[in-house]
Copies of this chain bind each other. A is one copy, B any other.
Amino acid sequence: MAVYTDVSDEDLAAFVAQYDIGTVESCKGIAEGVENSNYLLQTERGPFILTLYEKRVDPNDLPFFLGLMDHLAARGVKCPTPIHGRDGRALRELCGRPAAITGFLRGMWPKRILPYHTGELGKAMAEMHTAAADFALRRPNNLSVAGWRPLFDRCAEAADTVQPGLRDTIARELDVLEARWPHDLPTGVIHADLFPDNVFFLGERCSGLIDFYFACTDAFAYDIAICLNAWCFEADWSFNVTKARMMLAAYRKVRPFSQAEYDALPVLCRGAAMRFLLTRLYDWVNTPEGALVKRKDPVEYLRKLTFHQTVPGAGAYGLDPVVAA
């Protein structure tokens, strides 16, 4: 949740006048998106989302993100559709920041995860992976295995203040991940941040995906691993195999995956846990006291990492072995 920028009425009116969406009737900061300022904009034509990109987003990445949403929307994947101005551009500037308007996506993210949610998620994720296959731009994942040790180096000192022994645990796990990380899995555009608050539902159906600002080019199965971590653990840290099975089965119906992807799931889940453990640890250490940002607990992802370190194989995720991929 973040609303960092106060937009003046005059600036807003001048900005919106560059689009063919009518005049502004209301603009409210909304508690959505961690990295950017988001506003629910009501015009004569209905609701839109106005996003101001704050400093954690690299402006050079914005053509990738907005181009991807354009690409996906054109192929029927439900996601926020960038609105193009009269000059054809979707990206411009407001209050000294890059800014864009997107269509309003109906739906709500699930506060309490039920198995049907993960089934819908698996299907939507696979459809996104498939639809992005011919997207021309590439963006390396700078939060994958090569990025973890440099990130760790910047917060290792403080790890043991979060939990005694954490520094050693991470160092040892990084050794394992760097040695075993698969580099030849099927690759394409992944969302890379498909947490529940980025997946909208209307009733029991997924109505779309939002917040593509970590999207990048990486192994499809790594996206699945991120979702297994984000959606399939219960509050008591137990792993809900039913939810995992629903997700994976629904995914496989749209995009079958290979023996190599199947076999790699445990190490990918460990890596996905490491990625969020490290960024949360970094934020934990670097968020000043009193900041208007809620820090997320790194220990949650340490618990998830520990689970994946002990699984005997991908079967632990409720999935039948690949028979004919």
Contacts and interface: CB of A to CB of B under 8 A. Distances in A.
A42 B207 CA distance: 15
A257 B290 CA distance: 46
A106 B26 CA distance: 6
A176 interface: no
A21 interface: no
Contacts of A27: 108
A25 B294 contact: no
Number of copies: 2
A38 to B, nearest CB: 9
A187 B106 CA distance: 46
Contact of A30 (B6, B24, B30, B104): B30
Contacts of A26: 104, 106-108
A316 interface: no
Nearest to A10: B112
Contact of A28 (B40, B112, B202, B294): B40
A111 interface: yes
Contacts of A3: 1, 31
A303 to B, nearest CB: 22
A111 B30 contact: no
Interface in A191-217: 201-202
Interface in A22-43: 24-32, 40, 42
A157 interface: no
B24 A28 contact: no
Interface string A104-117: 10111011100000
A47 interface: yes
Nearest to A295: B290
A7 B40 CA distance: 19
Interface residues on A, range: 20 to 34
B6 A108 contact: no
A299 interface: no
A310 interface: no
Interface in A84-109: 104, 106-108
Given A25-B202, A31-B28, A42 B106 contact: yes
Contacts of A29: 1, 30-32
Contacts of A104: 26
A110 B28 CA distance: 12
B9 A107 contact: no
A293 to B, nearest CB: 8
Given A47-B42, A289-B289, A289-B290, A110 B30 contact: no
Contacts of A12: 108
Given A3-B1, A30-B29, A112 B8 contact: yes
A292 B289 contact: no
A106 B25 contact: yes
23 contacts: A1-B29, A3-B31, A6-B111, A8-B111, A9-B108, A9-B112, A9-B201, A10-B112, A25-B202, A26-B104, A26-B107, A27-B108, A28-B32, A28-B40, A29-B30, A30-B30, A30-B40, A31-B31, A40-B40, A42-B47, A47-B47, A289-B289, A292-B294
